[in-house]
Structure 1
């Protein structure tokens, strides 16, 4: 039996027109402000490099922190192969301090695509370690562990031996975006929280719900908090309760185009995609209550479709907060 939904969040990619990027970024900020007014517990932004989506989510969330007061702000997810963990820790801690402790950074390990590596690391691409050690370093920095052997005064300058500002509690709000058994086990062993999305690796079977449930259980089995370890599920849901006929037709076409990829694992990594959930809130709630992985969690960050218009996101978020959330047992705080 499903648990009552305790925390309701949403995820957006923040697409923009190359000739007018400000409008797309402003749309994201307006959507986050709307999410707070509707009572959502969290808002998350995706990370896209050399594309027409948010390339600097930490900067966007710094702006969102100044336009909101309560809603938690997350990244889903920052690929650490593009980052220096010490510098990223400084940025994350700064935004967490500015937001009053509302930041929930989500990260992942892994190498950047080959065509990007030389641009990122022109002198060191062949010797960079893109594995989980980058996550360990980030965790250590956020916890306040020393990063140098010196603390004190040098000339007129005062130096700390740990990342500044230090944001107490931020390390406990670090999430890992995991889609394989190995990644979720590592996240659990390091005491992180787990973001599980609409993509998993088909290692055990070709049943998406069963695989995702297995990942959640493996994560908790390796986490010191066991069954209390936090997991957030992020499926694409598109409620149509208040949609216009034109919006419904657009949404149906979107789902129809994407559905074939959910039939079998894709590519050499055997990535398996979850079907998008489209329909009335009552119908989507019925599907979620029957979903093996949803029955394991009590918090979600539902993903907004990539290519819709601002008005579509307003309708979808409003239906999620006012209709789907209550169908799942959620109540705005």
Structure 2
């Protein structure tokens, strides 16, 4: 099944390159960039598939039973811009440049040392014979990693100064998932990629894992009055479960409901709030207005300013020459 999907994906990628991109590169005299363009198509196409899948699932649900009417459409349009830049443009470009350089350097070091990094499949050989089980294990491990990244975003003041862009949204929809500061997104991409490399997620399964977690994240931000019940809420993160995290009840350093796909991590580590009938207002009133209603550029600039002030306060010294925290 996975190999069939991979073959179909490669065929589509190749068709787009041969029919649409390669002739344009040839006409412009840019054939030296052909290999990079081919890999870039893979990034953009993958992002487009994610957006389409999420829209088909989440938009009908928001129209069916919304928590609140869409009153601030300007803010939602900014979130849509975030999604476009994140999934089709800015972040994939930066990630592609950074990861290409790091992957080349890492591969060279590993090859010269003769060391073979351990993976989950080398530690548990049975996973090689059960690809669906292996996929489920990869999803659970990466979801666990995302839980802790999310907690660290709230725990460390410098990281929260960036993550606050995400929590400033008062008109939350499934588009809000991509509303992040660019530095926060880059850290998240490195975090996720490093864990995936460490546990040896195969290239053919990596896109499937990403889609599963991306759909779960977008769904949890959807403006839909939906709870999974007493049992279901403990098995999968619902829009109600995550909405509480975006309210004044769940945000901040001592927040609740950090899980992306599985609430079991919140359950284990004492950060779960299962009050099933609560659909509170979202947004943090302590966050500057520019982060809530400003343009994309204004929100990014506000995040940089908050980061600078946080770092300056942390490392400045008092009158006695001691660090003031």
| Range class of TM-score, shorter chain | under 0.3
Q: Name whichever structure is richer in helix by fraction.
A: 2
Q: Name whichever structure is richer in strand by fraction.
A: 1
Larger Rg: 2
